[in-house]
Amino acid sequence: METKIVGICGGSGSGKTTIVRRISEVLPDFVVLPQDNYYKTAKHISNENITDFNFDHPNAFDSDLLEEHLSALKRGESIEMPQYDFVKHARKEETITIKPSTVIIFEGIMIFFDKKVRDLIDLKLYVDTPDDIRFIRRLQRDMKERGRTVDSVISQYQSVVRPGYYEFIEPTRMYADLIIPEGGFNEIAIEVLTSFLQRYV
């Protein structure tokens, strides 16, 4: 079985998850591997000291484990994908068994930054969404799903999220095979993408 890894990159709130959902409406069978599950543990973090651990820096991710897992999936081997608790800022004890598939959707904010990880990706997509839209989506998500306050989200965005985007994420768009403005709402891009993926399922 030949495995194709499709990487979907873009800033926080850019619409990566929406693209994955749109793909699922067309393709019957694929596996999703979120880079977010590979954050390093930062149990000391709270609303009050949220910027003490920079989640918007490449060092926040366990890139060695990511490379190991992506390589294993390409070899046709199953992996035990970690789960991350964004309220406690730590990996959960339980993992999820991910079996190999013809298509692996790998999505995250910095999946193109580390060359050894980037080189494992067969098709690279970059979701290009305006700053204000990304911030609004992040604010809504973090308050609803992660128990955050407005002040902590704004503080984190100003001090590390926005600078991290322009230093580490936005420059990696140069590696993209396809840049998707408006994310999952770009009907033409979604049609091209799903047509390409249907060759492998």
112 Cβ partners below 8 Å, 6+ apart?
A: 7, 9, 118, 121, 124, 126, 172, 175, 176
pLDDT at site 51? 62
Give the separation between CA 103 and CA 41, rounded to whole angstroms: 29
pLDDT of residue 197: 81
Domain boundaries, position 146 = 4-197
- How many domains, the chain? 1
CATH code of 73's domain: 3.40.50.300
Confidence at residue 184, expressed as pLDDT on a 0 to 100 scale:
67
**Residuewise pLDDT in 10s, the chain (201 residues):** 789 999 999 998 888 988 988 888 888 788 999 999 999 988 777 767 766 778 889 999 999 999 999 999 999 999 999 999 888 888 999 999 999 999 999 999 999 999 999 999 999 999 998 899 899 998 998 898 888 899 989 988 998 899 999 999 999 999 999 898 876 677 888 888 888 788 766
Q: Show contacts of 168-171: CB within 8 Å, 24+ apart.
A: 168/56, 168/57, 168/58, 168/110, 168/113, 169/9, 169/10, 169/11, 169/56, 169/109, 169/110, 169/113, 170/11
C-alpha distance from residue 64 to each of 6, 10, 59, 69, 84 (Å): 19, 21, 11, 9, 17
What is the pLDDT at residue 24? 85
pLDDT given at position 25: 84
